[in-house]
């Protein structure tokens, strides 16, 4: 059967982009993506927009429409310099809020407002105020996976890529570290600063078990296991390397392990495998249902309608921006 002429034209236009993802997106599936990819890349020009995509976005977003990719820290840093009128955040809501804090004059779009995060849901601004009353004078270090209201109650933010550095920058012998209990315990192992944690967890990383990792090692001789610090402590202890999503990516790109198991969200392996063909990726797949709410279809709709746009109460924004900027000032 002959292809619809519009689809055939779109397929021809985006054919070079398919070359980037052909090892991770089957040829049969590509026509479903091609028209969206063509339309989004046109809309970016007419809207003077950039797309920031987190490392957990699917390959057709990550490799075919994103302008800037990375972990939470890189996206926050690069949001500061975004030379555009419109920023589309292909990631979760707290990432879009951070981009808006750093670009108050720009339109920041999150293609699905329901793209949340179990860590951000685990704590409220009132909880932080209660913690401060319980531990008077102790500074609050807040993982960026939180709402803007929680950031506004904090002294400084951190990401999984700079948490130890941020904790040690405060010169305090004790800090309140919220909301990820497992990241807090990972940080506590690497510093003499006393860490007062909160009991928040990532619903994706908390599901991995050390037993699962050890079973993978038994089944795959010579396997290198690398894990995100949102995993439980016994999983981190069973890993060969622990780091943020960008640090995990760097590890694979520079060390080129023969076989690697990335203990994190599924799309990470796909996105790296699209570029690197001499590493075998063993995939224990835990999807983040929030990251997966972002699709080519809703990115296109966002660019067409300039909705949903992130808006932040100005009083909250001033205080939250201070916490994010103090983090960014630490090198």
202 contacts ligand 13P (rule: CB under 6 A): yes
How many distinct helices (H) and strands (E) make up the chain? 17, 12
107 binds, among ligand 13P, ligand SF4, none (CB under 5 to 8 A by kind): none
The long-range contacts involving 207-211, CB below 8 angstroms and separated by at least 24 positions, are: 207/286, 208/232, 208/235, 208/263, 208/284, 208/286, 209/234, 209/235, 210/234, 210/235, 210/237, 210/238
Number of residues that bind ligand 13P (CB under 6 A): 13
89, with CB counted inside 10 A (0-12, 13-18, 19+), is buried
Euclidean distance between CA atoms 279 and 256, whole angstroms: 6
302 binds, among ligand 13P, ligand SF4, none (CB under 5 to 8 A by kind): none
160 binds, among ligand 13P, ligand SF4, none (CB under 5 to 8 A by kind): ligand 13P
Q: Which two tokens stand for residue 308?
A: 């949903």
The DSSP secondary structure of 107-170, one letter per residue, reads: EEE-S-TT---HHHHT--HHHHHHHHHHSTT--EEEESSS-HHHHHT-SEEE-TTTHHHHHHHT
58 contacts ligand 13P (rule: CB under 6 A): no
- Taking the least distance from each CB to ligand SF4, the nearer of 35 and 159 is 159
Among 288, 294, 316, 324, contact with ligand SF4 (rule: CB under 6 A): 288
Report the site for ligand SF4 in 188-227 (rule: CB under 6 A): 202-204
Among 175, 290, 310, 321, contact with ligand SF4 (rule: CB under 6 A): 290
Q: Name the nearest CA neighbour of 68 among 35, 34, 102.
A: 102
123 contacts ligand SF4 (rule: CB under 6 A): no
Question: Shortest distance, CB of residue 56 to ligand SF4, whole angstroms?
Answer: 6
71 binds, among ligand 13P, ligand SF4, none (CB under 5 to 8 A by kind): ligand 13P
Sign of CA dihedral 97, 98, 102, 107: negative
137, with CB counted inside 10 A (0-12, 13-18, 19+), is exposed
86 binds, among ligand SF4, ligand 13P, none (CB under 5 to 8 A by kind): none
3-state secondary structure of 45: helix
Euclidean distance between CA atoms 241 and 46, whole angstroms: 43
153: left (phi over 0), alpha (psi -120 to 50) or beta: alpha
252 binds, among ligand SF4, ligand 13P, none (CB under 5 to 8 A by kind): none
Report the site for ligand 13P in 133-162 (rule: CB under 6 A): 145, 159-161
- Given a contact cutoff of 8 angstroms between Cβ atoms, the answer to whether 247 and 222 are in contact is no
244 contacts ligand 13P (rule: CB under 6 A): yes
Euclidean distance between CA atoms 100 and 110, whole angstroms: 10
92 contacts ligand SF4 (rule: CB under 6 A): yes
55 contacts ligand 13P (rule: CB under 6 A): yes
- Taking the least distance from each CB to ligand SF4, the nearer of 290 and 321 is 290
CA angle (262 as vertex; 258, 267 as ends), nearest 5: 115
- Taking the least distance from each CB to ligand SF4, the nearer of 11 and 284 is 284
Question: Shortest distance, CB of residue 154 to ligand SF4, whole angstroms?
Answer: 17
Number of residues that bind ligand SF4 (CB under 6 A): 13
- Taking the least distance from each CB to ligand SF4, the nearer of 117 and 157 is 117
- Taking the least distance from each CB to ligand SF4, the nearer of 43 and 99 is 99
- Taking the least distance from each CB to ligand 13P, the nearer of 10 and 230 is 230
Interacting residues toward ligand SF4 by CB under 6 A? 92, 117-119, 145, 202-204, 230, 265, 288, 290-291
Interacting residues toward ligand 13P by CB under 6 A? 55, 71-73, 145, 159-161, 202, 228, 230, 244-245
């Amino acid at each position: 059967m002959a292809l619809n002429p519009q689809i055939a034209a779109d397929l021809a236009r985006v054919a070079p982009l398919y070359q980037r993802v052909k090892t991770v997106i089957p040829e049969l599936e590509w026509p479903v993506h091609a028209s969206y990819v063509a339309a989004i890349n046109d809309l970016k020009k007419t809207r003077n927009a950039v797309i920031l995509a987190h490392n957990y976005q699917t390959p057709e977003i990550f490799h075919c429409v994103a302008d800037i990719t990375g972990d939470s820290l890189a996206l926050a840093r690069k949001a500061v310099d975004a030379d555009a009128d419109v920023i589309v955040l292909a990631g979760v809501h707290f990432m879009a809020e951070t981009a808006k804090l750093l670009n108050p004059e720009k339109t920041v779009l999150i293609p699905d407002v329901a793209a949340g995060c179990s860590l951000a849901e685990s704590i409220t601004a009132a909880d932080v105020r209660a913690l401060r009353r319980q531990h008077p004078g102790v500074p609050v270090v807040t993982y960026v996976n939180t709402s803007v209201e929680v950031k506004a109650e904090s002294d400084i933010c951190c990401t999984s890529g700079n948490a130890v550095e941020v904790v040690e920058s405060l010169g305090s012998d004790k800090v309140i570290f919220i909301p990820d209990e497992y990241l807090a315990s990972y940080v506590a192992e690497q510093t003499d600063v006393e860490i007062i944690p909160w009991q928040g967890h990532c619903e994706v990383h908390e599901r991995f078990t050390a037993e699962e990792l050890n079973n993978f090692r038994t089944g795959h001789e010579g396997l290198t296991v690398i894990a995100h610090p949102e995993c439980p402590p016994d999983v981190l202890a069973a890993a060969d390397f622990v780091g943020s999503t960008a640090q995990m990516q760097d590890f694979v790109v520079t060390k080129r392990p023969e076989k690697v198991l990335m203990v994190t969200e599924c799309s990470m392996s796909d996105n790296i495998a699209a570029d690197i063909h001499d590493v075998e990726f063993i995939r224990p797949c835990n999807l983040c249902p929030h990251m997966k709410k972002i699709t080519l279809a809703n990115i296109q709709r966002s660019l067409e309608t300039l909705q949903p746009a992130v808006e932040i109460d100005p009083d909250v924004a001033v205080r939250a921006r201070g916490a994010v900027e103090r983090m960014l000032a630490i090198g």
